[in-house]
Copies of this chain bind each other. A is one copy, B any other.
Amino acid sequence: MGTLEFNGQHYPDGRASDPGELGWMRGAPPPEDKRIAFESGNYRDFPQIRWSFSHMRELMPTLNVWRGRGAPSQFERSDMSAEIDALTFADMGGRIRRFEDALFDTYADGVVVLHRGRIVYERYFGALQPHLPHECQSCTKSYTGTLAAVLLHEGVLDESRLISHYLPELRGTAWEDATLRQVMDMQTGLAFREDYVDESSDIWAYRRAFGRLPRPSGYDGPRNSCDYLRTVRKQGMHGEFAYQSLNTQVLAWVMMRATGRSFVQLLQERLWAPLGCEEDGYVEVDPAGMPTAEGGLSATLRDFARFGEMMRCQGEWHGKQIVPESVVRDVQQGGRPAKLESGYSYRSQWWVSHNELSSFEARGIHGQRLYVAPKAEMVVALFASHPIADGAGDSITMPQLLALGRVLSA
Least Cβ distance of A125 to chain B in Å? 20
Contacts of A37 in B (CB 8 A): 287-288
Interface residue SS majority, chain A: loop
Task: Pick from A27-35, A354-362, A394-402 the stretch touching chain B.
Answer: A27-35
Contact with B along A252-291 (1 / 0, CB 8 A): 0100110000100000000000000010100001011110
Contact A29 B288 (CB under 8 A): yes
Contact B58 A285 (CB under 8 A): yes
Given A57-B64, A61-B60, A62-B57, CB of A224 within 8 Å of CB of B29: yes
Minimum CB distance partner of A167 in chain B: B28
Contact with B along A211-229 (1 / 0, CB 8 A): 0000001000001101000
A226 to B31 alpha-carbon distance, docked (Å): 11
Kindly state whether residue A38 has any CB partner on chain B within 8 Å. yes
A278 to B71 alpha-carbon distance, docked (Å): 11
Interface size bracket, A side? 35 or more
A100 to B58 alpha-carbon distance, docked (Å): 38
Contact with B along A137-148 (1 / 0, CB 8 A): 000000000000
Contact B289 A35 (CB under 8 A): yes
Contacts of A278 in B (CB 8 A): 69
Contact B62 A58 (CB under 8 A): yes
Contact B257 A28 (CB under 8 A): yes
Least Cβ distance of A294 to chain B in Å? 15
Kindly state whether residue A21 has any CB partner on chain B within 8 Å. no
* Residue from the list B57, B63, B280 in contact with A61, Cβ < 8 A: B57
Question: Which 5 residue pairs across A and B have the least CB separation, nearest first?
Answer: A28-B256, A29-B288, A37-B287, A29-B226, A29-B290
Of the A-B pairs whose beta carbons lie under 8 Å apart in the complex, a sample of 9, sorted by A's number, is A25-B289, A28-B256, A28-B290, A29-B226, A38-B61, A38-B287, A57-B61, A57-B64, A69-B131
A interface residues with partner B (beta carbon < 8 Å): 25, 28-30, 35-39, 57-64, 66, 69, 71, 131, 217, 223-224, 226, 253, 256-257, 262, 278, 280, 285, 287-290
Known contacts A37-B287, A217-B217; 8 additional CB pairs below 8 A are: A25-B289, A29-B226, A29-B290, A30-B288, A35-B287, A38-B61, A59-B61, A69-B278
